[in-house]
Amino acid sequence: MDIHEYQAKEILSGFGVTVPQGALAYSPEQAAYRARELGGNRWIVKAQVHAGGRGKAGGVKLCDSEHEILDAAADMFGRTLVTHQTGPEGKGIYRVYVEAAVSFEREIYLGFVLDRSSQRVMIVASSEGGMEIEDISAERPDSIVRSTVEPAVGLQEFQAREIAFALGIPTALTQQMVRTLLGCYRAFTELDATMVEINPLVITSDERILALDAKMTFDGNALFRHPHVAELRDKSQEDPRESRAADRGLNYIGLTGNIGCIVNGAGLAMATMDTIKLAGGEPANFLDIGGGATPERVAKAFKLVLSDQNVQAVLVNIFAGINRCDWVAEGVVQALTQNPVDVPVIVRLAGTNVEEGQKILAKSGLPIIRATSLMEAAERSVTAWKNDQSQNTKLRAI
């Protein structure tokens, strides 16, 4: 789960990371009022969206007057911000963060991520901040400092000092940098984060180390331990299909293809998508209905997959262990009976109660295409989709 910049800054400040003064606004007038509250003569208005690259896309504006703040905020609210991270669909702007402008002398990149190869928290830092880490890695790889944290002892002060020295932090500011590193690490581990990024972390003209921007991502499976973090979720920044799936306990990721997938098990779902590609099709989604898929759960999965207007065929691939094929078959029949669809439906069942499941599908009288193997199911899905498209084309021609 991602959160907004202002939320990440509030969390990190609670762990000792210094951040600039700022305030949230939900309208241009409120943005101007926030600037008056903050005081000063220069402010930054930042669109709050779950994406990087906001500055290049016009989502960050430096303002010298209240009038400029009103104009900048008015230009942002209700707009769809498109960056290299959002894709062409972009992200809607419904709130902005107003911050007092800060004069700084240096920019530093600082990131905490889980390195799966070493099964450790990896600290990635660079003296060349203010740009994406991918660009830093490509253009200035020598500037990147990497340090792995031993989980048995956590991040130690001596290790934080080594990172500060490697980044060329002035001696007078070393302790501030150590406090920042330790605070980020504590926030990462104590809140079950999967990523903490400050870019840029700056050294100001008055010798302070400030987090000018901040991002945090959390392990969704651990949110039950942190209800105050779970409350920070902003569904307006998420794919609505994925939000609906999460609310119903389904694991769903929307893709750009046209063959919808309903599968049990993440590994089988990945294999199903690969096989569809091998057969010449494009999967429209990843959907894992999990174990113990009741008929109601399968019916919900159908509604979710078919809510995607790009779906032109649906492949149900179940290898039942904990699941039962008869339950899945009942769910398919229930879904198609209650909400008839005009796209081909292909079902492959294997495992527990497969004979009962096949009988339920056969007796339903519904136009369900059955398959016995994954490859056969994928090929029949692609063929059915192409035939359906060909028939629709002929009808339009008539």
d(CA 195, CA 216): 5
- Quick one: pLDDT band at residue 256, thresholds 50, 70, 90? confident
Question: What global pTM score does this model have?
Answer: 0.77
Q: Is the pLDDT of residue 398 over 80?
A: no
Please provide the size of the chain in residues: 398
Q: Where in the chain is the domain with CATH 3.30.470.20?
A: 104-237
Q: Where in the chain is the domain with CATH 3.30.1490.20?
A: 20-101
Convert the pLDDT of each residue in 145-172 to its tens digit.
Answer: 999 999 999 999 999 999 999 999 999 9
pLDDT digits (tens, 9 = 90+) for 340-386: 888 899 999 988 889 999 999 999 889 899 998 999 999 999 998 88
**How many other C-beta atoms lie within 10 A of the C-beta of residue 38?**
16
Residue 107 reports pLDDT greater than 90 = yes
The mean per-residue pLDDT over the stretch 137-149 comes to 85
pLDDT band with cut points at 50, 70 and 90 for residue 391: low
- At 395 the pLDDT is 43
pLDDT at 211 over 80: yes
The per-residue pLDDT for range 213-246, each reduced to its tens digit, is 999 999 988 999 999 999 999 888 877 777 777 7
- 102 appears as a binding residue in the annotation: yes
Whose tokens are 């762990």? That residue is 15
DSSP 178-197: HHHHHHHHHHHHHTTEEEEE
In this predicted structure, what is the pLDDT of residue 386? 85
pLDDT value for 397: 47
Q: Is 46 annotated as a binding residue?
A: yes
- 53 belongs to an annotated ligand binding site: yes
* pLDDT, averaged across the chain: 89
Calpha distance 341→368 (Å, rounded): 11
Q: Has residue 252 got a pLDDT over 90?
A: no
pLDDT at 61 over 80: yes
Determine the Cα–Cα distance for residues 241 and 194; give it in Å rounded to an integer: 23
Distance CA 293, CA 349 (A): 13
Topology of the domain comprising 240-389: Rossmann fold (3.40.50)
> Can you read off the two tokens belonging to residue 327?
């339950």
User: 169: exposed, middle or buried (C-beta count within 10 Å: 0-12, 13-18, 19+)?
Assistant: buried
Q: What is the pLDDT of residue 392?
A: 56
Whether residue 398 contacts residue 367, with contact meaning beta carbons closer than 8 Å, is answered with no
Q: Which of these CATH numbers, 3.10.20.30, 3.40.640.10, 3.40.50.2300, 3.30.470.20, describes 104-237?
A: 3.30.470.20
* Distance in Å from the first CA to the final CA of the chain: 49
Could you tell me if 368 and 347 are in contact, meaning their C-beta atoms sit under 8 angstroms apart? yes
User: Which pLDDT value is given to residue 46?
Assistant: 95
The DSSP call for residue 198 is: E
Q: Is 208 annotated as a binding residue?
A: no
Is residue 213 annotated as involved in ligand binding? Answer: yes
What is the model's pLDDT at position 34?
A: 95
pLDDT digits (tens, 9 = 90+) for 174-206: 999 999 999 999 999 999 999 999 999 999 999
Catalytic residues: 109, 197
Q: 199 a known binding residue?
A: yes
Asked if residue 145 belongs to a known ligand binding site, the reply is: no
In this prediction, residues 47-75 reach a mean pLDDT of 92
204, 102 Cβ separation under 8 angstroms: yes
pLDDT band, very low/low/confident/very high, at 325 (cuts 50, 70, 90): confident
pLDDT band at 87 (very low <50, low <70, confident <90, very high): confident
What are the residue ranges of CATH 3.40.50.261 in the chain?
240-389
CATH code linked to domain 20-101: 3.30.1490.20
